[in-house]
Chains A and B, each alone.
Chain A
Amino acid sequence: MNRFFTAMSRTAAAVAVSCALVATPVSAQTGTVTGTVTDAMSNSGIQSVQVYLVDTGLGTLTNASGRFLILNVPAGSYTLRAERLGYGTMDMQINVSANGTVAQDFALSSEALGLDEIVVTGTAGAARRREIGNTIAQVDVADIIEPPVSVDAMLQGRVAGMTVLNASGNAGSGARIRLRGNVSIAQSNQPIIYVDGVRMRSDAFDKNVPPTGYPGRSGNDVASPLNNINPADIERIEVIKGAAATTLYGTEAAAGVIQIFTKRGHQGQAQWTASIEQGFANMRPFGIDSSIRNDVSAAGGTTDYMFIDPWLRNAWQQRYSLSVGGGGEDLQYFVSGAMEDDDGVLPNDNEQKQTIRGNFTFTPADNLQLQWNTSFTNDEFTNTAAGNNAHGLTLNVYRRTANYFGNEERENLDLLLGQTIQTQIDHLITGGTATYSPFSNFTNRLSVGYDLAQQNNRNLRPFGFVRAPNGILSDGRSEFETLTFDYVGTLNFGLGSNINSSLSFGGQSVTTEIQRTTAYGEDFPGPGDPTVTTAGTKLGFEQRERVVNAGFFIQDVLDFSNKYFITLGARVDGNSAFGQDFGLQFYPKASASWVVSDEDFWGDMGQLKLRAAWGQSGRAPGAFDAVRTYDGVGWGGSPAFYPRVQGNAELGPERTAEIEFGFDGSFFSDRLAVDFTYYNQTTSDALFAVRQAPSSGFIDLNGGNSQLENVGEIKNSGIEISLNGAVMQGDNWAWDLGASLSTNSSEVGLPGEVPEFSVGGNGWIIDGQPVPVIRGEMVMNPDALAEPVIEDDQIYGPNLPTTIFGLNSTITLPAGLRFSARGEYQGGHYVTAGVAHNAVRRSVVWAGCNEVYNIAGEAPITATSPGRDQLTALQRAKCDPSLSDSNFWAEKADFFKLREVTLQAPLPDDLFPGASGSTLTVSGRNLFRWTNDEWTHFDPEMGGNNDNNPISRDGAQPGSFLVTSISEHIPAPAIWTVSLRVVF
């Protein structure tokens, strides 16, 4: 309980201090305005509707029941407005008398399409949705009733064309995000991320691993900067998915852009929101049904959990948040604080995170607005050594008696828990935007942003540690800085009757700096909590890297009769990582949209917008890729040179060109919204790490001898369909159903002189095949009762899902009850369970072979096993240690997961004195998983040892971040939570 009180007090103190300077003025001779905002169709209350008195600065937000209350309204006549994303705005005229109360309800009609909603991502300044020729996915957080545990989780299954891949069930684990597949083989495929216009680091943080020795003495997972954003602070997220939409972001944005908009203060009195969430994480079975073969480990582990169940726990998780928003006409504020303390299911796993945010909007004049947003996150997590790690708990448990102890006694394996893997991340994101409109048709916007993340990794195997008796300590500090300057000017003018032009121009500079310093020591004099200074052997490591990307753009939107829109634009970019013979880059774009439903002939058939867009974007090479360099590697304490990068003076960015077209529509009186997009993108001059012949000898410290070259192509194409419908509606109840389908087909184009190459995890880059494709040895007679016929270099299939189908449903019941469920299918891909092969080839009695052992009559099987004749060729190949190859464990990875199930209930009004509303929400995540019959064990979404960065630590195999393969990890657990949210 100490942790509970500590958390509560920290959260409350943080917000209270932040709010000390903020006060809402109170007037005499005032009245009160109150009412309820409901959905016009279902009559159910709508939360988070902004209700305000126009031109007064007075207003509030509705609570979960749709109720609102505005106090201290000076007597007089007003326009009372209610507005919220996804609904049509409604105005009502009211008269307020001194000491009187005006009751005014609203029944808002939903706008499934929202053609006049403002979006900003991918546009030069703000634009109405009707003007835009590309698709923009939008996640409106107010529509999500499930209390999101992270931004990763919030996005999972909510955006067509987006894949969110969790690596493991470790504390602090961050996901990989892919939009429309992989657009690059050598560079990051993580979309770039903006928060309120400020560019933040999008690639994963560093893995907490010592800088020397085997690069897996770790929990072998990485954290995502995205999860440093408090989900409760987010108002909406916009996602643009490809080069057709990201041109204006230039040489960084080929993999897409995610822009997060955090909550802003509203006009009116302060509204406080407090929430408390308690829950626990619990591992669901991911192994082999224990009824198949009686096999219990010496520690009591079962095959259901691959014998790790004695170490798994029901992990307490708790989150607290408090926020306040409000303000006057000139100044609005939103201040929040949040704290979470989550145990993981593995014994050493815990994450503690504190976040504080202040968002301020100052409007000193009608034509000038200043916004300043700042958030700070302190994230500390500890991990259990896991993954493909001989010092790790999971590997040694999975390997059973063939582990590094030679037995599976609990008291021996518990010794591995003596390793401390502690990560601390302090993350500041701050930035301001000034919007100045000297003339009614001319707007200037200048944004300055600064993102600073400091990571402190402590990885200690203490003196006496079972596998490093003299002790090993690595203390690493990493600093990631991103500085953004962004200017946009927009001039609107007419070109005749019904033709308007919106000309935008501007420039952007993004400077990223990474500094890593690690002190490493081993051989400590004795027990105790050491520092590197006390080590007998000490090593130091440092890495510094600065990349500047800067560019200018111009864009013009031509508006014909507010129905036809043509956008033309271009960006010119320079980047410090380009080769010296490489100049500026030019990225053009063009798009068009036609609001068909505004035509006279359309009649009353709903709304429809046709759209098409084409554009180019890019990805820059790494900071050191263009220049021929050597490394100072040292040898026995003396200086020594080793090859590093061969260099390529002509190195430039890869260029992705994309065309997409489709339509947005709403039909049946806005009860069905449809969004369809076809996309086709080609990355030319693709940066491939072209392997050189090893006999040339230019081979780096880690055995790599590839050189980035602008060769080849990567193609991605597919469709995205989103359907959201109000299936049934009645008084006080409704059933909403949503579905999305996205497909991705990718293909590599390799010139003849470039050899195909491996990217690890059985993933390969091969001409004419997906990016990446699983290839290797294959059993050609898998079902025959015979010895396997094995052929090499056989194609299994793509490693990334080719089909993703999402389904979500919300049922609104009387008394404000809401029930939602969300599931996702991913399929068409292959994933290798390297964990199985690693064990089988060491003759481990592997639960994944239990059926085979039953038939064979012994475990492990041998050439003379009594029942060998009854085994299929594939069974023999997978489970016979003398035959096993990791490719034989490449399995079809189709799965469906029930991502979440949530029930939300409003609580009685008088339960909390002074509260305007409260809700209780019960939610479960990852409760059910279906996999196809071929899938044997573990979770198809699990990852390997590799982290999400293209190069996280020297030694990473080029492209290894591309491949999903299963290492000695645990999957993401199920999480049950109960959340209480109170609005004052």
Chain B
Amino acid sequence: MILMTMKRVKQNATRVMALGLLVGVSACDTDVVNPGPITADFLDDPASQAAIVNGVGRALSDALNWTAYTSAAIAREVHPSGSTGSFGITPEQQRGELNDDEIGTQWSNAHRARFLASDGIDRILGLDAADQDSDQLAQLYLWAGYTSRLLGEQFCQAVYDGGAAEANSDSHLTAAIAYFDQAESLGSGDIATAAAAGRAAANVMLGNWAAAVADAGAIPAGFSFDMPYYDLGDDTQANRIYVAGKAEPYKAHSQIFTWIEQYNPETGGVADTDPRVSWEVSGENGDAASSCCGVIAWNPQTKYTSDDAGIELSSYEEMQLILAENEIMNNNDIPAGMAIINALRTAAGVGTETAATQAEAMTFLKREHAIEMWLEGRRLPAMRRWYVNNTPGDLQTLEEIGDGDVSTGSHLTTRHYCFPISEAEQDTNQNISAADVVRIIDGA
């Protein structure tokens, strides 16, 4: 009986081992499909068009978020209030520097948007014509145009796909104009209008005033086209300037020591005499001690008051300022230019100004530009254009490089006018050496 039992145990053990071996061998099938990531060929499905276009939109919003915030610090649209890490402003940027080892995210984000736009256009155009969604394609061209405009305005040089560095960023602006042409052609309503407005801005940067004026003059009053942001619990989809200053926990920038504090002084803790550059007194201090001046008062901007506050990409007001600058600089018609500026001011509920000379008029125009496009990522490019072209007129005192005494100047010790080729690009792009990197620096 015992022998029988043992025999059965052995038999069973042998069977178990054989079964185990069988299972083990079958487990050796290493062909695994994991869910989640999307294979590249799926993007060539006609059903993917909306997600392709949205991807480009998100990439542009990322790029704008980062360049608008950093350039706002360099242009002194805001004053750094200490935080240097997440959502912060580095000590070098606090001084006015855009160094190639600190702008990698801005460079990468902008080039991701450009790649996705270009790749997306190729994919959609590669579909059968009947499958192409023209509305999506028009939107895609518009995002592509704004992406290239951003690259052309904010970055010193153009680099494509690991290639050589171009002398400047003009080719992005040229590309932007071509994309805007396509968007206008395919799109309608706001898409078409925004394309014309975007094209006007790109042409201004290139000095093509006639084309710019033609587009700008066609933009109707009240037109505004925003880059949308979202309140979804995801900071990367939210308005970065707002998140960096909503005290959860970051209070990374303040309006203290900016010209806006002087131009639009507070009353009872609120500064909204000119509602376009509104801010408030919080009674709290900034995140940390800033390198210029220790712990400073945190007086946050109130232009953006929620995560989902959009950033204007094009507007009627911007177009009017193009027309005004054209009158002042190209036509030397100062009254005409000032009339346009004053019309904008009247519409905003603030007093008008008068100018006797071209320089005086341009000083007002530059200030009005700062007001109308405050915190929209457009100020530093405009400063660059005026600097490079030696355009008459002054910036506001606290926008200028100063000696640290804010009664006579700003805490800026220098100003870089555009984002250089990033250190990561220099490290990884064998067609670029440090000598190829162009920087536009005030006084350099």
Contacts and interface: CB of A to CB of B under 8 A. Distances in A.
Contacts of B55: 630, 633, 635, 640-642
Contacts of A390: 85-86, 249-250
Given A485-B24, A631-B37, A436 B237 contact: no
A632 B48 CA distance: 11
A913 interface: no
Contact of B54 (A403, A630, A638): A638
Given A368-B10, A467-B249, A692-B428, A545 B48 contact: no
A644 B27 contact: no
B289 A641 contact: no
A576 B295 contact: no
B121 to A, nearest CB: 13
Given A629-B40, A640-B57, A576 B32 contact: yes
A364 B2 CA distance: 10
Nearest to B14: A436
Contact of B114 (A628, A644, A697, A843): A697
B392 interface: no
B37 A697 contact: no
Contact of B108 (A448, A699, A838, A881): A699
B231 to A, nearest CB: 7
Interface string B112-124: 1111101100000
B40 A628 contact: yes
B16 A842 contact: no
Nearest to A509: B27
Interface in A848-875: 860
A130 to B, nearest CB: 30
B51 interface: yes
A756 B427 contact: yes
Interface in B97-133: 104-105, 107-109, 111-116, 118-119
B435 to A, nearest CB: 16
A639 B289 contact: no
B349 interface: no
Nearest to B38: A630
Contacts of B43: 630, 641
A406 B285 contact: yes
B4 to A, nearest CB: 12
A756 B428 CA distance: 8
B218 interface: no
A548 B50 CA distance: 35
B405 interface: no
B149 to A, nearest CB: 16
Interface in B17-76: 17, 20-21, 23-25, 27-32, 34-40, 42-43, 48, 50-52, 54-55, 57-59, 61
A978 B232 CA distance: 52
B25 A692 contact: no
A844 B85 CA distance: 14
B58 A642 contact: yes
Given A509-B28, A694-B108, A695-B425, A645 B294 contact: no
Nearest to B230: A636
Contacts of B251: 404
A298 to B, nearest CB: 14
Interface residues of B, number: 92
A446 to B, nearest CB: 5
Interface in A746-805: 753, 755-757
B57 A213 contact: no
Contact of A694 (B38, B104, B235, B285): B104
Given A628-B39, A694-B104, A697-B116, A636 B20 contact: no
Contacts of B118: 697
Interface stretch (A267-275, A536-544, A660-668, A969-977): A536-544
Interface in A793-833: none
Contacts of A882: 91, 291
B83 interface: yes
A390 B59 CA distance: 27
A624 B34 contact: yes
A139 interface: no
B351 interface: no
A391 B43 CA distance: 40
B24 A487 contact: yes
B232 A537 contact: yes
A841 interface: yes
A8 interface: no
A917 B39 CA distance: 66
A439 to B, nearest CB: 12
B295 A406 contact: yes
A13 interface: no
Contacts of B314: none
A537 B233 contact: yes
Interface stretch (B158-166, B206-214, B323-331): B158-166
Interface in A356-399: 364-365, 367-368, 370, 388, 390-391, 399
A753 B162 CA distance: 13
Tell me which of A467, A483, A842 has the highest count of chain B C-beta atoms within 10 A of its own C-beta. A842
Contact of A842 (B32, B36, B84, B236): B84
Interface string B358-402: 000000000000000000000000000000000000000000000
Contacts of A756: 427
A628 B39 CA distance: 6
Contacts of B161: 693, 695-697
Contacts of B24: 485-487, 507-509, 550
A575 interface: yes
Contact of B36 (A485, A544, A635, A841): A544
Tell me which of B17, B235, B251 has the highest count of chain A C-beta atoms within 10 A of its own C-beta. B17
A841 B291 CA distance: 7
B232 A467 contact: no
B58 A640 contact: yes
Given A404-B249, A521-B233, A641-B51, A691 B288 contact: no
Contact of B291 (A469, A753, A881): A881
Contact of A550 (B16, B28, B37, B54): B28
A695 B159 contact: yes
B287 interface: yes
B284 interface: yes
Contacts of A436: 10, 13-14, 17
Contact of B30 (A368, A576, A695): A576
Interface string B433-444: 000000000000
B34 A623 contact: yes
A691 B17 contact: no
Contact of B115 (A404, A551, A578, A698): A698
Nearest to B228: A636
B86 A641 contact: no
B336 interface: no
A486 B20 CA distance: 9
A647 interface: yes
16 contacts: A404-B287, A436-B13, A438-B14, A446-B16, A507-B24, A509-B27, A576-B30, A631-B37, A631-B38, A636-B54, A641-B55, A642-B59, A691-B424, A695-B429, A696-B111, A881-B291
Given A404-B251, A697-B111, 10 more contacts: A390-B86, A448-B20, A485-B27, A509-B28, A539-B233, A576-B31, A628-B40, A634-B54, A693-B428, A696-B162
Interface of B: 6, 9-10, 13-14, 16-17, 20-21, 23-25, 27-32, 34-40, 42-43, 48, 50-52, 54-55, 57-59, 61, 82-86, 91, 104-105, 107-109, 111-116, 118-119, 159-163, 228, 230-237, 247-251, 284-291, 294-295, 422, 424-425, 427-430
3 residue pairs, one from A and one from B, having the closest CB atoms:
A697-B115, A843-B289, A550-B28
Interface of A: 212-214, 364-365, 367-368, 370, 388, 390-391, 399, 401-404, 406, 434, 436, 438, 444, 446, 448, 467-469, 472, 483, 485-487, 507-509, 511, 520-523, 537-539, 542-551, 574-576, 578, 623-624, 627-645, 647, 691-699, 701, 703, 705, 753, 755-757, 838, 841-844, 860, 881-882, 884
